[in-house]
A and B are shown apart, each in its own frame.
Chain A
Amino acid sequence: MSELSVHHLLGIKYLNEADIDLIFETADQFKEVINRSIKKVPSLRDITIANIFFENSTRTKLSFELAEKRLSADVINFSAGQSSVKKGETLIDTVNNILSMKVDMVVMRHPNPGAGIFLSRHVKASIVNAGDGAHEHPTQALLDSYSIREKLGGVAGKKVVIVGDILHSRVALSNIFALKLQGATVKVCGPRTLMPKHVESLGVEVEPNLRKALNWCDVANMLRIQNERLDISYFPTIREYTQQFGVNRKLLDSLDKDIVIMHPGPINRGVEITSDVADSKQSIILNQVENGVAIRMAVLYLLASKIK
């Protein structure tokens, strides 16, 4: 009987291929559940989950919360904005306080890379990383790969290009780990200023020309320009970025094949992709959102089954 090799989901780099297969197989069953008229199962009835968000998030938080509720877990929510963190409380104190309320699992988003790992060493609860700074966002990468598998029948052997702000993106890093682990070939494309140094050491090729990248790939994962993280100017203007790295209908029509368009959201419409592309048949953006709930249900279910 297979089970996850980890007790926490801190990042894709701690998972192996069998873990990913198990998560996907379990998500298949949850996808069936969430498409029923009664979308709830009682599996996590005796589990309490704290969603601790030290950084703003709408869709990830909603997606986790929905997944938790559909598994019948008890859910408490905590946002740093309205808390004692503002009064100078440390991460450990905050979380220990929450754990004193007998919480079994913590879903945490934090602006600092490694916050989840730090926490997993100090508290007993099972930790799920919902994004730690520019480091990892494992459930997003899992749902992205799952959506590719669903659309193209598999991930192995597929060519995926990740376009945009690779430097600040936890989605990019987790995606690179997940896709490579499943046997895909990955390229990254974007302004040189938004490429991390030594990105090639992750086993990906840099393709500075968007048209060439799109002509090569089966799937283009378009990342959001994270204005909130751009403390200095990495490119002259948004308009110039869009001209060089934005995908529009004309560009897609000029390719000799139909590629799949993905976006982790929220979309800056007209910047990374135009509205007609985002809403086209080639786009699987809304499938990603639906699959996000199933993937998060699978992760929570599999981790919870290891809590004794």
Chain B
Amino acid sequence: MGQKVLLSEKEINIILHRLACQLLENHLDFKETVLIGIQPRGIFVAKRLTQILREEYGVTRIQTGYLDITFYRDDFRRGDRVLEANKTDIDFLVEDKKVVLIDDVLYTGRSIRAALTAMQSFGRPKEIELLTLIDRRFSRHLPIQPNYRGRQVDAINDERVKVMWEENEGEDVVYLVNG
């Protein structure tokens, strides 16, 4: 099993800053906007973006939540592994808000489909956008595209994209893993 570095720590940092700026351009003061990281890996992206927006761009009131989509997935009982739930932590209303769904890798689009269904349990947002750090284009099973993407990757099917985070795995790096 070989792996090569797709994004280094420096590149990730540049990309996150760019994404934060793009969000800022479209959402200004974030009064009507909420960021929602998809469990388990999207929350790292959401946390970093929130941090950058707060510390470097002075956005003081920005609401960030974490959404678990386990109970909404369409592969329940279809895979070999049991789907283990994570924690949903959304302590604000999404009714009439602009929601930015955030995940690390967009692959088949099924997780995002589940997230869109899960969002309905929290109310009716005004609009929903999608932000992903990595977009594995040409792999989609559903007609879902991101509004904001960090890096587009053409990976063949037995390749995996592994996103590591300093706070979880001890380093910021994105690998492309074979097999």
Seen from chain A, the residues whose Cβ lies within 8 Å of a Cβ on chain B are: 1-3, 25-26, 28-29, 32-33, 36-38, 40-43, 46, 71, 301-302, 304-308
Contacts and interface: CB of A to CB of B under 8 A. Distances in A.
Interface centre among A43, A302, A308 (most CB of B within 10 A): A43
Contact of A41 (B72, B84, B87): B72
Contacts of A305: 76-77, 82-83
Interface string B91-130: 0000000000000000000000000010011110000000
A41 B77 contact: no
Contacts of A37: 121-123
A29 B122 contact: no
A41 B121 contact: yes
Nearest to A301: B71
Interface residues of B, number: 19
A36 B122 contact: yes
A29 B85 contact: yes
A33 B72 CA distance: 12
Contact of B77 (A25, A29, A308): A308
A304 B122 contact: no
Contacts of B82: 1-3, 302, 305-306
A42 B120 contact: no
Is chain A's interface secondary structure helix, strand, loop, or mixed overall?
A: loop
Nearest to A298: B85
B96 to A, nearest CB: 14
Contacts of B86: 29
B121 A38 contact: yes
A42 to B, nearest CB: 6
Given A1-B84, A43-B70, 8 more contacts: A3-B82, A25-B84, A29-B70, A29-B71, A29-B88, A37-B121, A71-B71, A308-B77
Contacts of A41: 71-72, 121
Contacts of B81: 1, 3
A43 B76 contact: yes
B135 interface: no
Nearest to A44: B76
A105 to B, nearest CB: 12
Nearest to A1: B81
Contact of A36 (B72, B85, B121): B121
Contact of A43 (B71, B87, B120): B71
A157 B119 CA distance: 40
Nearest to A37: B123
Nearest to B86: A29
Contacts of B85: 25-26, 29
Given A3-B82, A42-B117, A32 B87 contact: yes
27 contacts: A1-B81, A1-B82, A2-B82, A3-B82, A25-B85, A26-B85, A28-B87, A29-B70, A29-B85, A29-B87, A33-B121, A36-B122, A37-B122, A38-B120, A38-B122, A40-B121, A41-B71, A41-B72, A41-B121, A42-B71, A42-B72, A42-B117, A43-B70, A304-B77, A305-B76, A305-B77, A308-B77
